A and B are shown apart, each in its own frame.
Chain A
Amino acid sequence: MHEREFEHRYHQLQKSITASDDLKSATRMLMREAAASPAPDASAHASEGAREKQPAPRRMKRAGLAVAACVIALLLAFGTLPAVLSGNSPAEPQFAVKAYADALDEVIEPNDAGLVVFPYDTKIGFQDTSAEGTEEGTYTGALFTVEGESITRVQATLSEGELYRYSFDRFTLGDEPEKARELLSWKPTKRGTGTYYADYDYVISAAVDDDLSHADPDKQMQARLIKRLGPTVDLAVSDSEPLYLGLWLDEASAGAGGMFDVSALEGATLTVTAQFDDGTFQTQTIDLHVGWFACERAAFDEGSAADLVPVGEPLDEAVLSEGADACRTLYGITSGIANTPHPYPLDTANEHAGAPVDALPLESVLSYRGTLEPADYTAGDGQVRAAGEHVDIALAESLSGAGEAQPLEVGLISAETLSTLPASYDLRASTQVAGMGGDLDYFNVCRRVTHGFTVGEDGSLSEEFSYVVVRLDVTNASGEATSIVAQDLGAPCALGPQGVTFSSCGLFAASGWEGCEGDNTWQTIPLPAHETRSLELVYIVDDKLFEAGELALSCPAGGLEQDLAQVQFLKMR
């Protein structure tokens, strides 16, 4: 079953589950009684301390949001509280620190109240897990840039947390297919590897809404690139590469309210220095605060999470009208401007720039599964067919179909065991490796962990593993067109005196959809009513399977997870 189909079916299933009116009424009564009773013992409520740190609840209208997240905006006020730094005369601002709205791909100009409003795209705020899976931090998604004439370098220091660089890489699929593959297959376990994105902590692929299919050579690709740099950064800037910096919080500083709680930045200072091409400097100090703001609904499309935009100036919570749109956000006030160099040491600037954080170890997400699954089950005589016979199966119970049973007739034409992949298969394009962006090295790293085998460039296999190539005829026995998932059709197994032993290595390649209409993949095969397709399925199996009994194909596939009494076994020899 594909993920999207599962999601749809799960939604349908869950929508039928609701709390009854009786339950709600009874609960309301209990709540009223509890509210009328004396305050409970504080020791009974662990959240007491957290309550002290945050404002009281405020009703806010936030209906119909596509993305579940609160909105944070970074507001920077310029000139409202100018001050003198280091004994210099008050200086006129020669550059501006402006928030960057990723959802709009635009720098936001100040509003009528003199504030720069930064709609916050919650999709680019996320939490990080260290290589050990223990230390976490939060990339808040609150981004800013520096604008001014003749700036050659920017230095910045955040007093709480750290700064990360946020940049883009945009290209056309047809121009750089290898880069596209690396982008689409990037993951924290591959951090530090690859040709194009090895230097980044996070690489996020974003689909550009250009109405082109994912395979169209003109498809525009976009990589969002993130590199945490440290509390202080010192970076060259140029017109060709705009500088965007984000605010990062470590685990200890991350708010109790989740990844978008930036309470820890209340009272923090962001110090930004611009160095100009004539060798002069200007430093601006921005005090960061968290406060309540009235909000307007953003006119962004539904794909954006920037749903509420703070407007005006910070408000006393008490004056917020009941039911009004409001949000608790981060904002900044420029408290000092001086024509001086950066006041903090730069010798430790960009301290994390040299290398990405450690890759997430595969073992944290993968584990050895074994290659054989012995079942305490012996196939009955009625379940076993000789090579060349046909069996009737239905795939609905294996969750492969769209809810309706798919009556299929399966006949095994031939089967053979090989030590190398049939020449008709392109290792990187028509096998499981294609599902990993054609990255054979990464495929092998994963398979070594999960099953203990690797595949060579020439298709050769690790010792003690073999390919089993099965050729089948599959007939759609129903009067309606259907589509079948190749790997659900069957799986190698051994019928032995101790019972059935299944192979757990899975389907490695399949072919046979040539000539079918529709958008096919190597796994999904459309099958018109009453039509027969000849398919070739290639499995990788542990050689120990051959010693466990007579080789057979269990139809449908499913191993121990299905009702074995419903399985048909087609002997391969």
Chain B
Amino acid sequence: MSLPRKNRIDLDDVEAALERWGDTVYRLAVCRLRNRADAQDAFQDVFLALVRTRPAFSSREHQKAWLLRTCCNCCNDIARKRMRHAAEALDDLDVIDPAAEHVSDPALTRALEALTDRQRTAVHLRYFEGYSAEEIARITGEKPATVRSHLFRARNTLKIKLTSGEELPCMSENSNTATTSCKRA
């Protein structure tokens, strides 16, 4: 069933989304691009896309997922442009310096630098946003198995041992295990 499209953008909705999810989008952009200027560009591209495309959302979580997906796409576009202009841009990059005072955990920041963009994105969506591999796959446009592979390799690189104590590589594909709780036996 198609519904009549709104004639005007409801700026209240869009600006509320910016307030609600602005930091969320910005963090993902920083995580993905490791460069503040590029992250700011991606941030603006995402919310402009929200104004222009007027997607329909069934919930705030749906809206958040859309924004994160769009953020990934915008970051990919920016990364491609960066590749094309790599030679001229290298000196000007506002690269985030893990040794800078404002970075609260330089060691961890340095460790994260060892990950690929996609691994870092998967780690961010998993450990900060709390998404499952399947949900991350929806956001990044990859296969869930690919996301699991990113997470597996990232954990390996970061030397993360899963909290359950189980062997890392074989635990990683079961995102459903040990994550649920119930109120009674």
Contacts and interface: CB of A to CB of B under 8 A. Distances in A.
Interface of A: 1-4, 6-7, 9-14, 16-19, 23-24, 26-28, 30-32, 34-35, 40, 44-45, 47-48, 50-60, 62, 65, 67-71, 102-105, 123-124, 126-127, 129, 133-134, 136, 170, 184-189, 202-210, 220, 222, 224, 257-259, 261, 266, 300-301, 303-304, 317, 327-328, 360, 362, 364-366, 396-400, 403, 432, 435-437, 442-443, 446, 450, 485, 488, 521, 523, 558, 561
B124 A14 contact: yes
Nearest to A70: B59
Give me the 10 closest cross-chain CB pairs, A-B, nearest first. A70-B59, A54-B56, A187-B174, A19-B26, A127-B134, A133-B145, A35-B9, A328-B58, A303-B181, A220-B185
Contacts of A62: 59-61
A185 B59 CA distance: 34
Interface stretch (B76-84, B86-94, B155-163): B155-163
Interface of B: 1-3, 5-6, 8-16, 18-19, 22-23, 25-27, 30, 40, 43-44, 47-65, 102-105, 107-109, 111, 114, 123-124, 127-132, 134-135, 137-138, 143-145, 148-149, 152, 155, 157-167, 169-185
A303 B179 CA distance: 10
A432 B173 contact: no
A162 B18 CA distance: 39
B127 A7 contact: yes
12 contacts: A16-B103, A19-B43, A44-B52, A57-B10, A70-B62, A105-B183, A129-B134, A186-B177, A366-B152, A399-B111, A521-B165, A558-B159
B124 to A, nearest CB: 7
A303 B174 contact: no
B156 to A, nearest CB: 8
A133 B134 CA distance: 12
B178 A184 contact: yes
Given A432-B167, A561-B159, A328 B59 contact: yes
B139 to A, nearest CB: 9
A16 B43 contact: no
- Residue of B18, B48, B104, B180 with most partner-chain A CB within 10 A: B180
Contacts of B44: 23, 26-27, 30
Contacts, number: 301
A40 B52 contact: yes
A13 B108 contact: yes
B160 A3 contact: yes
A59 B58 CA distance: 10
A365 B55 contact: no
B48 A31 contact: yes
Nearest to B6: A56
Nearest to B170: A446
A32 B11 contact: yes
B169 A129 contact: no
A23 B177 contact: no
A261 B173 contact: no
Contact of A185 (B53, B128, B166): B166
B115 to A, nearest CB: 11
Given A47-B53, A62-B60, A327-B58, A17 B134 contact: no
Contacts of B164: 184
A9 B108 contact: yes
B181 A207 contact: yes
Nearest to B4: A56
B23 A19 contact: yes
Contact of A10 (B5, B6, B108, B134): B108
